[in-house]
């Protein structure tokens, strides 16, 4: 039988991203936490984490195990609260793209509060890559994020937005209503570091 503290060690590592931070979060030494993760991997019979000098990644088995580990921990907390006579509110863990306007986000949270008064909302910010990882690891229940091309998996398109260019009035492309990305080849411009529309930049 897998002991609960091993699940908590595992979740702390994937949520914090490092063994050092996870050990601090769990108030144990790093060797103790590392030994716990090794014990958990022996008990489940699979490698759950892939360690490198720069980051920690979930293996395929780890991604699958994380969903169940998080569900078990959540159910454990609900059971403890029920026995203690404390009604624990349900929580919607919502991943949000960092570029979503705060006014829109506030309006959405207000609407959720009005529609489901007993539901707590936890916002988890990140870029599209981070939010995809959070979904895979079960760190968030839903994510408002950008997708390229057709929606995949359990995703639903809520809206689409155009990319806009700010050009001097005398620029050769200033009069165009729409431009293909190729038309900007060779142009000097400022773009976001991770630009979905112009990945080659």
Instruction: Tell me whether residue 49 is in a domain.
Output: yes
What pTM was estimated for this model as a whole? 0.48
E strand map for 41-89: 49-51, 56-58
**Does residue 185 carry a pLDDT above 60?**
yes
Final residue of a domain: which of 50, 83, 116? 83
Check which CATH number belongs to the domain holding 53 and give it.
Answer: 1.10.10.10
Number of domains in the chain: 3
Per-residue confidence (pLDDT) for residue 153, from 0 to 100 = 57
State the average pLDDT for the chain.
82
171/102: higher pLDDT: 171
| Nearest alpha carbon to residue 116 among 140, 96, 92 | 92
DSSP secondary structure code for residue 193 in this structure: S
Which of 64-78, 113-127, 136-150, 164-178 is predicted with the least confidence, judged by mean pLDDT?
136-150
Instruction: Tokens for 138, please give them.
Output: 């079960």
Residue 201: per-residue pLDDT: 44
Please indicate, yes or no, whether residues 66 and 94 belong to a single structural domain of this protein.
no
25-29, 51-55, 120-124, 148-152: range with lowest mean pLDDT: 148-152
The predicted structure's pLDDT at residue 86: 62
Residues 28 and 52 reside in one and the same domain: yes
Structural domain contains residue 123: yes
Question: Mind listing the pLDDT tens digit for each residue in 10-46?
Answer: 998 888 888 888 888 888 888 999 999 999 999 999 9
Residues 6 or more apart whose CB falls under 8 angstroms from that of 61 comprise 44, 46, 47, 48
Query: Residue 188 sits in which domain range?
Result: 162-201
> Is residue 153, in this structure, part of any structural domain at all?
no
Better pLDDT: 159 or 70: 70
CATH number of the structural domain spanning residue 107: 3.40.190.10
**What tens digit of pLDDT does each residue of 127-162 get?**
888 888 888 888 888 888 887 655 455 777 777 777
Average pLDDT for residues 56-78, to the nearest whole number?
88
For 58-65, what is the mean pLDDT? Answer: 90
Domain-embedded: residue 13: yes
Q: Could you tell me if 9 and 71 lie in one domain?
A: yes
pLDDT at 102: 81
């Amino acid at each position: 039988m897998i002991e609960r503290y091993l699940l908590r060690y595992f979740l702390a590592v994937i949520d914090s991203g490092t063994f050092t931070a996870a050990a601090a979060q769990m108030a144990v030494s790093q060797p103790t936490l590392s030994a716990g993760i090794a014990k958990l991997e022996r008990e489940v019979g699979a490698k759950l984490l892939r360690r490198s000098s720069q980051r920690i990644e979930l293996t395929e088995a780890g991604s699958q195990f994380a969903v169940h580990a998080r569900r078990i921990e959540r159910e454990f907390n609900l059971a403890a609260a029920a026995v203690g006579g404390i009604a624990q509110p349900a929580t919607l863990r919502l991943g949000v793209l960092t570029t979503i306007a705060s006014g829109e986000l506030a309006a959405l949270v207000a609407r959720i509060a009005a529609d489901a008064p007993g539901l707590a909302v936890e916002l988890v910010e990140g870029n599209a890559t981070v939010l995809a990882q959070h979904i895979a690891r079960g760190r968030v229940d839903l994510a408002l994020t950008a997708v390229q091309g057709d929606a995949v998996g359990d995703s639903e398109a809520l809206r689409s937005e155009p990319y806009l260019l700010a050009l001097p009035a005398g620029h050769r492309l200033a009069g165009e209503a729409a431009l293909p990305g190729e038309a900007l080849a060779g142009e000097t411009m400022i773009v976001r570091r991770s630009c979905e529309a112009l990945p080659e930049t």
